[in-house]
Amino acid sequence: MTQMDVTNTTETPTALGRPIRRKEDARLLHGQTNWTDNIQLPGTLHMAILRSPMAHARITKLDVSGALKMPNVVAAYGAAELGDLNGSVPCVWPVTDDIVMPGFPALAIDKVRHVGDCVAVVLATDAVHAADALEAIEVDYEPLPAVVNMESAIADGSTIVHDDKGTNTCYVYNLGGGYDEVAAKADVIVKRRFINQRLIPAFMEPRAVVAAPMGMSDEITIWTSTQIPHILRVLLALVTGIPENNLRVVAPDVGGGFGGKLQCYREEILVTQLARKLGRPVKWTETRSEDMVATHHGRDQIQDIEIAATSDGKMLGLKVTLLANMGAYLQIITPGVPLLGMFMYPAIYKMDAYDFKCTGVFTNTTPTDAYRGAGRPEATYAIERIVDELAAELGMEPMELRKKNWITHEEFPFTTVAGLTYDTGNYEAATARAMELFDYDGLRAEQAQRRASGDPVQLGIGISTFTEMCGLAPSRTLGALKYVAGGWEHCTVRLLPTGKVEVVTGTSPHGQGHETAWSQIASSVLGVPVEDIEVIHSDTGRSPYGMDTYGSRSLAVGGQAIKKAADRLVEKAKVIAAHQLECSPEDIEFVEGVFRVKGDPEKVQPLAAVAFEAFTGHNLPPGVEPTLSAEATVDPEDFSYPHGTHLAAMEVDTETGKVTLRKYVCVDDVGVQVNPMIVEGQVHGGLAQGIAQAMFEGASYDEDGNLQTASFADYLLPSAMDLPSFITDTTCTPSTTHPLGTKGVGEAGAIASTPAIINGVVDALRPLGVTDINMPAAPMTVWRAIQAAKAGGAA
């Protein structure tokens, strides 16, 4: 079922849908690439950062002069020395009119507000001496009480993170209504508090930035390990005052991002400003220790969830009350992340009412922002968990409860109680296939037998029937949510005189395989072999228009632009071909890269020949300009809604609390697939991250605001040894909002898998009286829940 015919054949014009090996992998695997840290420019200054060891403190003394006396040091700055160059890190999503938006100076001014806050920088001619010189900076802190817990932060008398603002409440956002009326008619109401814990993106390539004045012009080029070179260029122009036309941002090969590189970081601002001030290239590469405290974190919500239903299992309404941890400052879309989940709490279920309220809260912790799924994993976790709890309360089989309430395939398009219109889906088909692959009935029988025999290792079955919204996004929708940019995507397709093709995309890959997949799309339209297509991306100098890569948008939005631009190019070429073939364009058909006169097989003109004609310009039809290229900017008409059914068989050792994932089946519906091998890779990676949230990962702070999980010795990432072989399959209901019928897949695994795991653990232990397990399901957590249940207390 996971087997696919892998092929290198790229000669056919029907590359779309084939599991072609990724073009970019040989370069990456053989080390024939440049990560940002590999870039070495003559005269480079290396920046090192002195970071706050305290979560909340007043800086009573900062003297960088000692660092200036250290060998190889060229400059050192605190906020005072940096002056006007100390820009403020931008937030582009003020979600309410009265949102509290504190300043976020790149170098802290007078106060530090989280461990890892930047206090001072040193620039030296090599990285070693820059690091050594940090120790010569004199800094005194007057410690202030730190506030870490969100409920404490919004309680009266709390320490205030930004004292000039007088409150730790960033915003309160409300949506929906009517829950109380339906709840009054309900037979059953189930309430739970779920903790969606803080996570650290932990991409493989740490962040790195190089900025260099280019000398021959006013241009400053910034190479940075980012997901968003285009957006970053705009933001850096706004923050630094450097004219946008003088900024070029390049994202070289980027080693993972997961939302963690969807950011305009203070370090990017500092490197840019200092390169400009000093007139020399400046470089900074973070250590893993810095990354853990200074790269934005993800998730961190307290979710109070209430669901109302009839006694026969008809869902009536859902009430969601969130506390969302902003951290110490707002970064690019920090306040908006919970709202990306807001629409997804009702998920695949039909109900009459939905109330949503989210309170954003400041604490003395690392700022949060987007992390794979961004709001939607939190929503999916909450709804899929509460549905299982409702099933238990009703005494219903959890899958049967889902079937009773989900949107059936005949009911699409369907407008949910949250206001989204899902265009297509077939939850029945994906579920049937998943249950078959899983041997659902067989595992239920084994579970019953283990329960009967009192086996110390109990078996649980976890279900997640998820959907998500991806493909950010219709610009008008973003505008209505107060996001300050659009969600369109751009593509230019150029046919070169020699028949080669350049596809210029505004999407910015960081491991996804865009170069291959985009080539397949262009190949399917143009009939040009995949290997003759070059995908140009991630450089504002070569690819000037784009909105970059996040939110599973690259294919869902960028793919549309590629298709449209390629179609337009064919239309222009057809006019030239008709002229050459001495017929009307209406008499021409374009098949497998060749223009043919209908009904006359002798009269053909390959696309490459048309390209050469367009290059020479010797014999073009009247009014047709030389060169052959076309561009398209597409604003999607709606989101795309992938869905799927994920099933996990969880073994729980009741003596030790150890949880083992024995079997994992997922059947995802991502519509038409451009490259099934890349789809499967995305699903595998997403599963690993979503399962890791449920079982292994969790950033925690002590009461003084120290990150207790500041290295990989304590922040536990799974390796291949900790995960089983996933059993994956797909169903296909084509998207109606995408010309190729595709949906997004980048986040599906991470969104769907987390509740499947915890539902499985709780299912294993429910006969013991356990009704919830906080994530991650670490053995001590599970063991304590079992002990509490045995003692008769709530788990």
Q: Is 136 in the site for other proteins (CB under 8 A)?
A: no
**CB of 114: closest distance to other proteins in angstroms?**
19
**CB of 249: closest distance to other proteins in angstroms?**
27
Nearer to other proteins, 216 or 713 (CB): 713
Rounded-to-integer distance, Cα 795 and Cα 784, Å: 8
Strand partners, 42: none
Measuring CA to CA, which residue among 521, 539, 46 is closest to residue 249? 539
* CA dihedral of 674, 680, 685, 690, whole degrees rounded to 10: 100
Nearer to other proteins, 2 or 287 (CB): 287
The H-assigned helical ranges of 227-365 are 229-240, 266-278, 288-294, 337-342
From 87-95, 125-133, 166-174, 366-374, give the range in contact with other proteins by CB under 8 A: 125-133
**How crowded is residue 739: how many other Cβ atoms within 10 Å of its Cβ?**
14
**CB of 131: closest distance to other proteins in angstroms?**
5
Q: Which one among 486, 718, 724, 739 touches other proteins, defined by CB under 8 A? A: 718
The residue type of 569 is L
Strand partners, 354: 177, 318
Rounded-to-integer distance, Cα 598 and Cα 590, Å: 10
Measuring CA to CA, which residue among 515, 543, 555, 481 is closest to residue 748? 555
Nearer to other proteins, 545 or 783 (CB): 783
Q: Which one among 1, 6, 128, 445 touches other proteins, defined by CB under 8 A? A: 128
**CB of 132: closest distance to other proteins in angstroms?**
7
Q: Is 132 in the site for other proteins (CB under 8 A)?
A: yes
From 92-100, 318-326, 468-476, 655-663, give the range in contact with other proteins by CB under 8 A: 655-663
**CB of 650: closest distance to other proteins in angstroms?**
15
Nearer to other proteins, 731 or 754 (CB): 754
Contacts of 755 (CB under 8 A, 6+ apart): 380, 381, 384, 385, 388, 462, 464, 466, 694
Binding mask 595-634 for other proteins (x = CB under 8 A): ----------------------------------------
**CB of 233: closest distance to other proteins in angstroms?**
31
**CB of 653: closest distance to other proteins in angstroms?**
9
Nearer to other proteins, 63 or 722 (CB): 722
Nearer to other proteins, 150 or 688 (CB): 688
Q: Is 709 in the site for other proteins (CB under 8 A)?
A: yes
**How crowded is residue 553: how many other Cβ atoms within 10 Å of its Cβ?**
24
Q: Which one among 217, 453, 619, 719 touches other proteins, defined by CB under 8 A? A: 719
Q: Is 704 in the site for other proteins (CB under 8 A)?
A: no
Burial of 450 (0-12, 13-18, 19+ CB in 10 A): middle
The H-assigned helical ranges of 185-307 are 229-240, 266-278, 288-294
Q: Is 267 in the site for other proteins (CB under 8 A)?
A: no
Q: Which one among 601, 713, 791, 792 touches other proteins, defined by CB under 8 A? A: 713
Rounded-to-integer distance, Cα 183 and Cα 170, Å: 30
Q: Is 784 in the site for other proteins (CB under 8 A)?
A: yes
As a whole number of Å, the CA-based R_g of the chain is: 28
Nearer to other proteins, 292 or 394 (CB): 292
From 33-41, 128-136, 230-238, 630-638, give the range in contact with other proteins by CB under 8 A: 128-136
The H-assigned helical ranges of 603-675 are 607-616
Strand partners, 728: 666
Q: Which one among 471, 696, 770, 785 touches other proteins, defined by CB under 8 A? A: 696
> What phi and psi, each to the nearest 5 degrees, are found at residue 298?
-130, 170
Q: Is 475 in the site for other proteins (CB under 8 A)?
A: no
Q: Is 717 in the site for other proteins (CB under 8 A)?
A: yes
Q: Is 49 in the site for other proteins (CB under 8 A)?
A: no
With CB under 8 A, what is the number of residues at the site for other proteins? 27
Q: Which one among 541, 714, 767, 790 touches other proteins, defined by CB under 8 A? A: 714
Q: Which one among 412, 612, 615, 783 touches other proteins, defined by CB under 8 A? A: 783
From 2-10, 124-132, 183-191, 234-242, give the range in contact with other proteins by CB under 8 A: 124-132
Q: Is 419 in the site for other proteins (CB under 8 A)?
A: no
**CB of 292: closest distance to other proteins in angstroms?**
12
**How crowded is residue 429: how many other Cβ atoms within 10 Å of its Cβ?**
16
Q: Which two tokens stand for residue 677?
A: 């091998």
Nearer to other proteins, 718 or 769 (CB): 718
Nearer to other proteins, 90 or 657 (CB): 657
Per the CB < 8 A criterion, the answer to whether 275 and 121 are in contact is: no
From 126-134, 262-270, 330-338, 389-397, give the range in contact with other proteins by CB under 8 A: 126-134
Q: Is 486 in the site for other proteins (CB under 8 A)?
A: no
Q: Is 655 in the site for other proteins (CB under 8 A)?
A: yes
Q: Is 287 in the site for other proteins (CB under 8 A)?
A: yes
Q: Which one among 204, 216, 452, 721 touches other proteins, defined by CB under 8 A? A: 721
**How crowded is residue 200: how many other Cβ atoms within 10 Å of its Cβ?**
26
Q: Is 779 in the site for other proteins (CB under 8 A)?
A: yes
Rounded-to-integer distance, Cα 546 and Cα 533, Å: 19
Q: Is 204 in the site for other proteins (CB under 8 A)?
A: no
From 8-16, 164-172, 575-583, 652-660, give the range in contact with other proteins by CB under 8 A: 652-660
- Three-state helix/strand/coil letters over 375-400: CHHHHHHHHHHHHHHHHHHHCCCHHH
Q: Is 174 in the site for other proteins (CB under 8 A)?
A: no
> What phi and psi, each to the nearest 5 degrees, are found at residue 288?
-65, -35
Q: Which two tokens stand for residue 784?
A: 């304590």
Q: Which one among 195, 278, 536, 716 touches other proteins, defined by CB under 8 A? A: 716
Rounded-to-integer distance, Cα 271 and Cα 49, Å: 11
What is the number of residues in the chain?
Answer: 795
Q: Which one among 350, 500, 658, 684 touches other proteins, defined by CB under 8 A? A: 658
Strand partners, 333: none
Per the CB < 8 A criterion, the answer to whether 250 and 221 are in contact is: yes
**How crowded is residue 408: how many other Cβ atoms within 10 Å of its Cβ?**
13
> What phi and psi, each to the nearest 5 degrees, are found at residue 212?
-145, 125
Nearer to other proteins, 289 or 311 (CB): 289
Nearer to other proteins, 128 or 184 (CB): 128
Contacts of 423 (CB under 8 A, 6+ apart): 412, 413, 638, 640, 641, 735, 736, 737
Q: Is 722 in the site for other proteins (CB under 8 A)?
A: yes
Q: Is 688 in the site for other proteins (CB under 8 A)?
A: no
Measuring CA to CA, which residue among 720, 729, 736 is closest to residue 667? 729
Collapsing DSSP to helix, strand or coil, 596 comes out as strand
Per the CB < 8 A criterion, the answer to whether 124 and 46 are in contact is: yes
Per the CB < 8 A criterion, the answer to whether 124 and 72 are in contact is: yes
**CB of 197: closest distance to other proteins in angstroms?**
12
| Helix, strand, coil percent values for the chain (each to nearest 5) | 30, 25, 40
**How crowded is residue 236: how many other Cβ atoms within 10 Å of its Cβ?**
25
From 112-120, 145-153, 683-691, 773-781, give the range in contact with other proteins by CB under 8 A: 773-781
Q: Is 656 in the site for other proteins (CB under 8 A)?
A: yes
Q: Which two tokens stand for residue 566?
A: 């390629």
Nearer to other proteins, 127 or 614 (CB): 127
Strands (E), 656-779: 659-669, 727-731
Contacts of 63 (CB under 8 A, 6+ apart): 137, 138, 139
Q: Which one among 26, 172, 591, 780 touches other proteins, defined by CB under 8 A? A: 780
Q: Is 131 in the site for other proteins (CB under 8 A)?
A: yes
Interacting residues with other proteins (CB under 8 A)? 127-128, 131-132, 287, 289, 655-656, 658, 696, 700, 708-709, 711, 713-714, 716-719, 721-722, 778-780, 783-784
